[in-house]
Structure formats: C-alpha cells, structure tokens
C-alpha cells in the first residue's frame, strides 16, 4: 500500500478491478464497454478514487498481435468509446495531452436539445446546463453576427440574458440556449444578409454556412448556426416612439420584454462577450434592473423559476 497510487481513471491501462458487487450494480451503466473507461467515468462522478497496486496481477504471456490485429483492436475500442460517450451524454473529452475530442452537435447535425417549453430547455429539466458543444456553436454564431453588424455600421446592443452574461461573465450564461441582440430598425437594411432576407422573403445562407431568416413568431430575425443546427441569435428591431422611448412590434411575454428610454443607447459602449468586443447600453446595471428587477446582476436565476430554480442545482457542485 505504501507504493500504491491513487488516480481518477484507468483509461487504456490493463487492470483487474476489485470492488464490491453492491457498488458495481449501484452504477447506472455497470458493464458498458469499454468497461474500464465506463467505470472510471462513473466513479469520477461519485468522487471515487481508484487504488493502483503495481504488478499485483501480471498479464499472461500472449503472442504479439499482427498489424491487422492491432488495427482491428484500435478500431473496435474507438467505436466502443464513441458509443459510450453517446450513451452517457458526454459532449467533450479533454485528453491527457490537453487535446479536445468532441462528441456533440456541429454544423451538420441538429442541436442537442429539442423545442423550448416554458422558456426551459430539456437539459435544464434534467438538472444540467447547456452542453459544451451547443455553447461553442452559440459563441461562434454570436461572434459572426457581431462581426457582420459591426462591418455594416448597424447600431446594435446585447439584450436580455445575453447582456446579463456579458456583465457577469464576459460570456454567454452557462445555462442559456440562445443569444439576444437589439438593433435599430432603421439600420436593418444596412446588413447585406438582413437586406437579402427582406428582399427575397426567404432564408439566406451566407458563405460561412450561417442561416439568416425572418422569425416565424413575429417581426424579428434569427441567425442560425447552420441549416441543420438551429442554435441561434435573435435580432430584435427597435425604434423610438414619441418621447424617446424604444419599442418594438413583437412581444413574446418574456420578463425582459419592456420598453426603455433611448438614452441607454446614446452612446453605446463596448463590452466583452463570447470572445469578442460587442456593444452594450451605456448603463448596463440600470438597463438590466429595468428589465429584470433590482439585483439582477448579483442574483442569477433560470429563465422560468416556476419550472426549475437555480438553487436546485448549485447547492453542491454545478451541474455538468
């Protein structure tokens, strides 16, 4: 025992694993293959540590495998690993050398969750936060939209929960499922892709594979990560009504859907968001408290607390 080493995983190691039967069958996937990888992952979630006893169980002598046999073994193991990641719902592996291997959605696949019900995606109902692949796609879409609006000279700003994320974290809120951006309605046609949508009445795919369209729910626009993957940025056209109050033509009944004074937008100010510098109202705290209520920045909450509250998931470790 003095020479034993404690570790969190035995991936790739030949091993004889000793554990109590009741512990093995308390796991949701006790014998999923590859068994060593499967048990290591499930043990890590429970905080179990594995005790290595070097040379305690020497391997039997075997003839060296042929090159074809080695290829078959590697290929079989890789197929098992990918099936295991899908079974566990794991979207991202960080390998020992720091490389990342993704198993989640991309440009050619649908996003990892279905329709949003009561402002609550499926992963929140299950006690998880946004899958890392979905956050990666949202960040890419947000950066692309910001670059296009900046290049076109469109007056835009981060809205709602996206502005909350920028002020709190400089990033998308880790449980969010879209990005909200406001813009001046008079500037919509300055953006070539929005102008093309208005002219054709149909969705337009840009050269980088992002899909621009008019939303079916009302007078606003959406930019999707791709035709297949509907993770998106919502673009809300605002205009000033008499008295200098900013309003819009579509209201979806969300908590933050309120009119506000135009003075918040004159001038707009820079803010870090999703790896780029975006634009924000000039008094983000006052703007957010107008929309969400006092203490909005310091008191995070899920979009619909009647369905699930943040406190259900942060009493211990944050959900993964």
Phi then psi dihedrals of residue 241, to 5 deg: -95, 170
**What pLDDT is attached to residue 101?**
84
**What pLDDT is attached to residue 73?**
84
**What pLDDT is attached to residue 1?**
43
Radius of gyration of the chain (CA): 25
pLDDT in tens, 149-201: 999 999 999 999 999 999 999 999 999 999 999 999 999 999 999 999 999 99
Q: Determine the Cα–Cα distance for residues 268 and 246; give it in Å rounded to an integer.
A: 14
* 3-state secondary structure at position 69: helix
Domains of the chain and any CATH numbers: 5-90 (no CATH), 122-310 (3.30.460)
pLDDT in tens, 268-287: 999 999 999 999 999 999 99
Total-model pTM: 0.81
**What pLDDT is attached to residue 76?**
86
pLDDT band at 23 (very low <50, low <70, confident <90, very high): confident
Q: What angle do CA 266, 280, 273 make, to 5 degrees?
A: 160
Q: Which residue intervals of the chain are DSSP H helices?
A: 21-24, 35-45, 67-88, 122-125, 132-152, 160-169, 192-200, 284-292, 311-314
**What pLDDT is attached to residue 181?**
98
Say whether pLDDT at 100 is over 80: yes
Q: Judging by beta carbons within 10 Å of its beta carbon (0-12, 13-18, 19+), is residue 228 exposed, middle or buried?
A: middle
119 Cβ neighbours under 8 A, 6+ residues apart: 254, 303, 304, 307
């Amino acid at each position: 025992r003095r020479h034993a080493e404690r570790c969190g995983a035995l991936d790739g190691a030949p091993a004889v694993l000793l554990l109590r039967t009741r512990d093995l069958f308390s796991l949701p996937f006790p014998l999923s293959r590859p068994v060593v990888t499967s048990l290591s992952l499930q043990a890590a979630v429970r905080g179990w540590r594995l005790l290595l006893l070097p040379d305690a169980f020497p391997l039997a002598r075997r003839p060296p495998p042929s090159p074809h046999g080695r290829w078959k073994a590697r290929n079989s193991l890789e197929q098992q690993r990918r099936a295991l990641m899908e079974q566990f719902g794991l979207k991202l592996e960080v390998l020992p050398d720091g490389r990342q291997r993704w198993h989640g959605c991309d440009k050619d696949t649908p996003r990892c969750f279905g329709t949003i019900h009561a402002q609550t995606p499926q992963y929140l109902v299950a006690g998880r936060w946004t899958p890392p692949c979905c956050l990666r796609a949202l960040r890419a879409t947000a950066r692309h939209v910001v670059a296009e609006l900046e290049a076109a000279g469109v007056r835009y700003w981060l809205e709602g929960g996206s502005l909350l994320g920028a002020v709190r974290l400089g990033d998308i809120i880790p449980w969010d499922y879209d990005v909200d951006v406001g813009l001046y309605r008079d500037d919509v046609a300055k953006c070539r892709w929005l102008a093309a949508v208005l002219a054709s009445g149909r969705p337009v795919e840009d050269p980088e594979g992002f899909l621009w369209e008019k939303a079916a729910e009302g007078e606003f626009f959406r930019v999707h990560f791709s035709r297949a993957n509907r993770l998106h940025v919502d673009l809300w056209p605002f205009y000033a009504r008499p008295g200098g109050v900013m309003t819009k033509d579509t209201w979806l009944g969300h908590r933050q859907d309120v009119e506000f004074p135009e003075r918040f937008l004159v001038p707009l100010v820079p803010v870090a968001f999703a790896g780029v510098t975006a634009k924000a109202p000039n008094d983000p705290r006052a703007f957010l408290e107008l929309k969400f209520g006092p203490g909005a920045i310091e008191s995070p909450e899920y979009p619909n607390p009647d369905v699930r509250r943040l406190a259900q998931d942060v009493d211990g470790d944050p959900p993964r």
